[in-house]
């Protein structure tokens, strides 16, 4: 046992020496510019009350699902929520998974077969890459949002081709060029897997995301929506055809071999989408704050351009980014550094998330502090 501990500690020490040791922190009382609670639903007292009220209305009390969906964990209610999600996402069928991570693993590990090819954006989330690793298909990344590079790889791809992209990228906040991507995919008979993690709730009628709002949904084979970000709750769903749903129920191990989400989570999913539908102005409120932030930092050279709630300020080098983040934290802003290797070396940054509940004075104070930190650094 001592030997085991020692081995682990050696690897932890190496991480620490590289300045990359991860530790768990408590959320702070600072102004939130870091969470994915873009629409403020996670902190909404009225959504909280609606979820508890809805839960109370169930006559059969249930604390846990007691098994996987294929065993004791399925209910008519579960399927009614899936039907509702399918309606929101304008698709034939949806299947709830326990998280976005599990949903991407489910899709990428089960659909592509041995002689197929997965092409994924180099900045795709870890769960897309992990899912592709679990598959027996060949896998290649293409340069971020670079359709020329993608086309070069499409020309050489074998078997059924899957292209895995995100509608909004989690580290840069930029969008994928969906329209052009769909056209390119169709030219090569490739199927798109679109992760809508950071667009669910934020865009589209009833929070239906980017593909629906751009009217491209019928041309995308598989869509993944997650509920732990703008929807403020937990879980995810995979949306597509009835055949896709049946296929996943049969072949997707992250769906088959896990205890289903408890009733509470499924009720929360239904209530969160109802709540957003009744408070759709939240989407405009968020856009207003994004616009105010973008306007305030327009002359800052070290930012990446994004129209989403995710903004970045690049301070190259892990130490530099950490130092700047600490200074902002001391000023009362909850802003976290994103270090390499999570992002490429030289593009270490602050990831700044904007929310409906960030006030104009808070946004002005943060952008003012960013400007002076940038001036000091250059």
**Chain contacts with ligand PLP (rule: CB under 6 A):** 99-101, 104, 125, 127, 166, 170, 195, 197, 226, 228, 236
DSSP states along 23-69: ------SSEESSSS-TTS-TT-HHHHHHHHHHHHT-SS--SS--S-T
CB 108, min distance to ligand PLP, A: 11
Query: Which of 40, 100 has the CB closer to ligand PLP?
Result: 100
Query: Which lies closer to ligand PLP via its Cβ, residue 182 or residue 237?
Result: 237
Comparing CB distances to ligand PLP, the nearer of 270 and 374 is 270
**Angle formed by the axes of helices 281-296 and 360-377, nearest 10°:** 30
Put residue 276 in one of left, alpha, beta given phi > 0 → left and psi -120 to 50 → alpha. Answer: alpha
Phi-psi region of 376 (alpha: psi -120 to 50; beta: other; left: phi over 0): alpha
Q: Are 143 and 177 in contact (CB under 8 A)?
A: no
- Residues 265, 276: contact at Cβ < 8 Å? no
Q: Quick one: 166 or 334, whose CB is closer to ligand PLP?
A: 166
Give residue number: closest CB to ligand PLP.
100
- 36: Cβ–Cβ under 8 A, 6 or more apart, which residues? 198, 228, 229, 230, 353
Question: In whole angstroms, how close is the CB of 237 to ligand PLP at the nearest point?
Answer: 11
- Least Å from the CB of residue 204 to ligand PLP: 17
CB of 125 to ligand PLP, least distance (A): 4
Q: Is the Cβ of residue 137 or residue 176 nearer to ligand PLP in the bound state?
A: 176
* Cβ 352 to ligand PLP shortest distance, Å: 15
Output 172 or 334, the one with its CB closest to ligand PLP: 172
d(CA 170, CA 304): 13
Instruction: Please state the closest distance from residue 364 (CB atom) to ligand PLP, in A.
Output: 28
Residue that has been written with the tokens 């081995």 in this structure: 7
């Amino acid at each position: 046992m001592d030997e085991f501990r020692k081995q682990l500690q050696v690897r932890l020490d190496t991480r620490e020496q590289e300045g990359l040791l991860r530790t768990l922190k408590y959320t702070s009382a600072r102004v939130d510019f870091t969470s994915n609670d873009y629409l403020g639903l996670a902190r909404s007292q009225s959504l909280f009350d609606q979820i508890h009220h809805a839960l109370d209305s169930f006559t059969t009390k249930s604390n846990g699902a007691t098994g996987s969906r294929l065993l004791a964990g399925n209910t008519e209610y579960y399927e009614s929520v899936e039907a509702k999600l399918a309606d929101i996402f304008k698709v034939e069928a949806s299947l709830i998974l326990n998280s976005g991570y599990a949903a991407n693993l489910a899709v990428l590990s089960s659909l592509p077969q041995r002689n197929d090819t997965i092409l994924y954006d180099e900045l795709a989330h870890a769960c897309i890459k992990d899912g592709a690793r679990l598959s027996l298909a060949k896998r290649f990344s293409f340069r971020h949002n670079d359709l020329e590079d993608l086309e070069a790889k499409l020309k050489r791809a074998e078997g059924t081709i899957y292209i895995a992209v995100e509608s909004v990228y989690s580290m840069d906040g930029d969008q994928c060029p969906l329209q052009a991507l769909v056209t390119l995919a169709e030219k090569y008979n490739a199927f798109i897997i679109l992760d809508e993690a950071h667009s669910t709730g934020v865009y589209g009628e009833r929070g239906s995301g980017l593909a629906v709002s751009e009217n491209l949904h019928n041309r995308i084979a598989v869509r993944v929506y997650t509920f732990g970000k703008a929807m403020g709750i937990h879980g995810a769903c995979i949306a597509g055809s009835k055949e896709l749903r049946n296929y996943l129920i049969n072949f997707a191990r992250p769906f088959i071999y896990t205890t289903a989400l408890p009733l509470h989570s499924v009720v929360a999913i239904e209530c969160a989408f109802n709540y957003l539908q009744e408070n759709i102005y939240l989407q405009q409120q968020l856009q207003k704050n994004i616009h105010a932030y973008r306007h305030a930092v327009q002359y800052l050279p070290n930012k990446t351009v994004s129209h989403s709630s995710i903004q970045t300020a690049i301070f190259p080098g892990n130490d530099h980014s950490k130092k700047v983040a600490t200074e902002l934290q001391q000023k009362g802003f909850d802003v976290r550094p994103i270090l390499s290797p999570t992002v490429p070396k030289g593009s270490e940054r602050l990831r700044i998330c904007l929310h409906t509940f960030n006030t104009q004075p808070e946004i002005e104070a943060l952008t003012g502090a960013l400007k002076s930190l940038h001036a000091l650094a250059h």
